[in-house]
Amino acid sequence: MELWYTEKQTDSFGITAKVTETYVREQTDFQDLSMIETEEWGTMLTLDGMVMTTVRDEFVYHEMVAHPALVTHPNPEYVLVVGGGDGGVIREIMKHPKVKKAVLVDIDGKVIEYSKKYLPTIAGELDNPRVEVIVNDGYMHIHDHKNTYDVIMVDSTEPVGPAVELFSKGFYQGIFDALKEDGIFVAQTDNPWFKADLIQTVNRDVKEIFPIVRVYSANIPTYPSGLWTFTMGSKKHDPLQVEESAIPEFPTKYYTPRLHKAAFVLPRFVEDLIK
């Protein structure tokens, strides 16, 4: 008998993957967590029935959350990651020697625990001495740390369960206040095929708070539709003004200096969403 994992991305569309082994299936204090082995994508982490990451394509998402903001900020010494308990964004941040300290705040310690055990190539930098891992509410951490961070990255699930408040205007205002005077923030903002309204709402809210707002995209095959967006809000530095020659080389599989500005070139139907 074959076992398949299916994510219903809408009421009438989904993706499915053949499962070879189930490592974990647990209802944590916050969400339904599964760690499974798939034939096509390797080890896969799912939360509340949604694919969070897979060994095969995780590098796209994690690189594109971390690097555009870190190369845009001239001196990103103190960085915060809200969510991201799998550790992939932290791994990418650690490639930047200017970063003195990266703080990870995830509300669900089980995500961190199981990622260390079953996703070591993703979570391997969580024990780096430049990293502080906090199991707590990211919303409250933001509220309690005014004028603290150079860059804040929101690596959240889709806006369900504990992540709902991470897509609110009040949260973006809190991020603005937690950033230093030239700070930058970036958040994953879902896909334009199924969540156009979400992208429009986030873009409008962030534009009311940050003077510079840019949307960029990447191809992530195991995420709904494969086309994923990210929204960057900046107090001072514009990612479109970064010179390609000024971007240092570091090991990546998706992000490159040439891709930096290209990622901000959007299909017309996505441009129309955020006009």
Place of tokens 């979400």: 198
Question: What b/e sequence results for 124-136 when a residue is b if at least 16 CB atoms lie within 10 Å of its CB, and e otherwise?
Answer: bbbeeeebebeee
Whether 156 has a binding-site annotation, put simply, is: yes
| Annotated binding residue 162 | yes
Residue 138 annotated as binding site: yes
CA distance 36 to 4: 10
- Scan for tokens 């982490």, then name that residue: 45
233 has binding-site annotation: no
Q: What is the DSSP letter of 249?
A: P
What Cα–Cα distance (Å) separates residue 131 from each residue in 89, 142, 154, 171, 258? 12, 17, 16, 23, 29
Tell which residue, 73, 77, 58, 61, has the closest CA to residue 130. Answer: 77
Distances (CA, A) of 150 to 42, 184, 187: 35, 6, 15
3-state secondary structure of 272: helix
Query: 35 φ, ψ to 5°?
Result: -125, 115
Residue 190 assigned ligand-binding role: no
| Catalytic residue flag (residue 155) | yes
158 labelled binding-site residue? yes
Cα(266)–Cα(275) distance, rounded to whole angstroms?
A: 12
Among residues 108, 150, 155, 190, which one is catalytic?
155
Ligand-binding site membership of 62 (annotated): yes
Query: Residues within the annotated binding site?
Result: 31, 62, 86, 106, 137-138, 155-158, 162
Q: Would you list which residues are annotated within the binding site for spermidine? A: 62, 86, 155-158
Specify binding-site residues for S-methyl-5'-thioadenosine.
31, 106, 137-138, 162
Query: What residues act catalytically?
Result: 155
